[in-house]
Amino acid sequence: MSGAEVSATEPDWGRERPARFWDPGRRLLRTIRGYQRCRPGPFGSVARWWWVLRHRFWSAVSGADIPLNARLGGGLLLPHPNGVVIHPAAVIGPNCLIFQQVTIGTGPRPGVPTIGGHVDIGAGAKVLGGVTVGDHARIGANAVVTADVPAGATVATPPAVVVALRPVADLEVRPA
């Protein structure tokens, strides 16, 4: 299936199914889904306790900070979950792809982000504040998003620029 065929509204739950035992991103998502399915009552309390323990384990293994009450659409992919931080009130649509070191949380605008369906977020990107990212958008690696992103858009941080330059004569050369 190519990227254009992935739905922004209908979750593809098969994307979250662990392919093998050691699949930290998918195992972490499985603990969140299991916890959210628990019903009130004595059996639900025991089940919630079990899912919380598993969530703590897979959070430590994966290095991700995704709360149990996160509002995640189905079909989420976390191929490298290390360093992923998601605010509990943020909304993430179905079939999104989030790479390592991504932060989705509060920022300069009041509120938390709302991410549309089938949004790809590159490594190290930050989506901050009450912004809305439209369906099928792509956010490049290390981009810092603090304004709304229209559906289908691709956003990226401009290349690095020199902000200060000191003369070479000022650099001290030490013999080895």
The model's pTM: 0.86
Q: How confident is the model at residue 2 (pLDDT cuts 50, 70, 90)?
A: very low
Say which residue the tokens 């790479």 belong to.
99
pLDDT at residue 171, rounded to an integer: 56
CA torsion sign for 106, 84, 56, 12 is positive
Distance separating alpha carbons of residues 59 and 56, to the nearest angstrom: 5
Terminus-to-terminus CA distance in the chain, angstroms?
A: 57
Q: DSSP class of residue 126?
A: E
Q: Which CATH number fits domain 3-155: 2.40.110.10, 3.40.630.10, 2.160.10.10, 1.10.10.10?
A: 2.160.10.10
Let me know: does 12 contact 6? Beta carbons within 8 Å. yes
Q: pLDDT tens digits for 142-167?
A: 999 999 999 999 999 877 666 666 66
Q: Is 138 helix (H, G, I), strand (E, B) or coil?
A: strand
* Mean pLDDT within 47-76: 96
Q: How confident is the model at residue 169 (pLDDT cuts 50, 70, 90)?
A: low
pLDDT at residue 42, rounded to an integer: 85
- The CA angle 26-30-32, to the nearest 5 degrees, is 120
pLDDT at residue 1, rounded to an integer: 43
Q: What percent of the chain has pLDDT over 70?
A: 88
Q: DSSP class of residue 166?
A: -
pLDDT at residue 173, rounded to an integer: 60
Domains of the chain, residue spans: 3-155
Which of residues 163 and 74 earns the better pLDDT score? 74
Residue 102 has pLDDT above 70, yes or no: yes
Distances (CA, A) of 133 to 84, 96, 120, 122, 158: 18, 11, 10, 14, 19
Which of residues 76 and 39 earns the better pLDDT score? 76
